[in-house]
């Protein structure tokens, strides 16, 4: 197995699919677009034709060098090398076809930032986690996404549209921001779900809180879980 395949790095090869994704971004002429994961640059021409400015960041040094060579003549494009999730960048539209291994990092980074909307491609199973609104399938990432965003399904992408082809199909989703949370709240929600099999009373004891409730996290609304996280913080 290649290193890229092992990391969940699958490159979109269909120009028609890339054009469809770009159309779904609803980019306006005054938008600043952040693309995380330049990859082979299949989305770049479509994004740059719509936006005021596109900032595309690639962690892989070879992919970055290739993009600089191929796209340096686009005047409203800024190509950067590094880890976008360690940078402080001003943008209002987020677009990404991330490696599957980075999907959670992307959501956790976005819930802490101010922006209009994001259009991202993720593994279908991960999208189902984000959309899980109740029950035992709900996770910390489900709560954070539901509390901070309106999550909308946009389109399916079959695995045959990638090289190398992944084992599963992908979906494109839109995240419209409702509100953001602090890093402290994010960490608290993740910590809460490490005790998700316990009752709220027993979870609270781990944080020196006194709460008389036999409910479990799966019984609480997203807002209730965020409120509990605030009490921990």
Segment 35-46 mean pLDDT: 96
pLDDT confidence bin for 51, thresholds 50/70/90: very high
Q: At what angle do helices 183-192 and 222-232 cross, to 10 degrees?
A: 110
Q: Where are the domains of the chain?
A: 3-180, 185-232
| Model pLDDT, residue 3 | 43
Read off the pLDDT band of 1 (50, 70, 90): very low
Long-range contacts of 53-60 (CB under 8 A, 24+ apart): 53/77, 53/78, 54/78, 55/80, 55/89, 55/91, 56/80, 57/81, 57/82, 57/83, 57/84, 57/87, 57/89, 59/83, 59/84
At residue 8 the predicted structure's pLDDT band, cuts being 50, 70 and 90, is low
Q: How many CB atoms lie within 10 A of CB 170?
A: 26
What pLDDT score does 9 carry?
Answer: 74
- Collapse the DSSP code of 17 into the 3-class scheme (helix H, G, I; strand E, B; otherwise coil) and give the result: helix
pLDDT, tens only, 147-177: 999 999 999 999 999 999 998 899 999 999 9
What pLDDT does 90 receive? Answer: 96
Structure tokens at 141: 């990432």
Q: Give pLDDT, residue 25.
A: 96
Give pLDDT tens digits for 74-132: 999 999 999 999 999 999 999 998 888 899 999 999 999 999 999 999 999 999 888 87
**Fold assignment, 3-180:** Rossmann fold (3.40.50)
pLDDT for the residue numbered 136 = 73
Mean pLDDT score of the chain, rounded to an integer? 92
Query: Is residue 6 pLDDT above 70, yes or no?
Result: no
pLDDT tens sequence across 177-233 = 999 999 999 999 999 999 989 999 999 999 999 999 999 999 999 999 999 999 999
Give the model's pLDDT for residue 131: 83
Q: Look at residues 48, 53, 51, 40 and name the one whose alpha carbon lies nearest to residue 11.
A: 40
Q: How confident is the model at residue 63 (pLDDT cuts 50, 70, 90)?
A: very high
Q: For 151, phi and psi rounded to 5 degrees?
A: -100, 125
Q: In the prediction, which pLDDT does 101 show?
A: 86
């Amino acid at each position: 197995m290649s290193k890229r395949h092992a990391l969940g790095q699958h490159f979109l090869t269909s120009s028609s699919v890339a054009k469809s994704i770009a159309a779904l971004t609803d980019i306006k002429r005054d938008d600043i677009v952040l693309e995380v994961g330049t990859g082979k640059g299949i989305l770049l021409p479509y994004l740059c034709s719509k936006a005021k400015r596109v900032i595309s960041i690639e962690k892989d040094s070879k992919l970055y060098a290739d993009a600089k060579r191929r796209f340096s003549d686009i005047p409203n494009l800024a190509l950067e090398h590094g880890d976008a999730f360690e940078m402080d960048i001003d943008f209002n539209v987020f677009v990404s076809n991330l490696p599957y291994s980075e999907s959670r990092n992307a959501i956790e980074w976005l819930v802490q930032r101010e922006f209009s909307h994001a259009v991202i491609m993720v593994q279908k199973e991960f999208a189902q986690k984000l959309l899980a609104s109740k029950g035992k399938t709900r996770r910390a990432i489900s709560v954070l996404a539901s509390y901070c965003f309106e999550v909308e399904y946009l389109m399916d992408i079959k695995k045959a549209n990638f090289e190398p082809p992944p084992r599963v199909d992908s979906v494109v989703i839109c995240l419209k921001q409702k509100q953001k949370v602090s890093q402290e709240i994010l960490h608290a929600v993740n910590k809460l779900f490490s005790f998700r099999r316990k009752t709220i009373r027993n979870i609270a004891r781990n944080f020196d809180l006194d709460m008389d409730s036999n409910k479990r996290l799966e019984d609480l609304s997203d807002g209730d879980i965020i409120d509990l996280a605030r009490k921990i913080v």
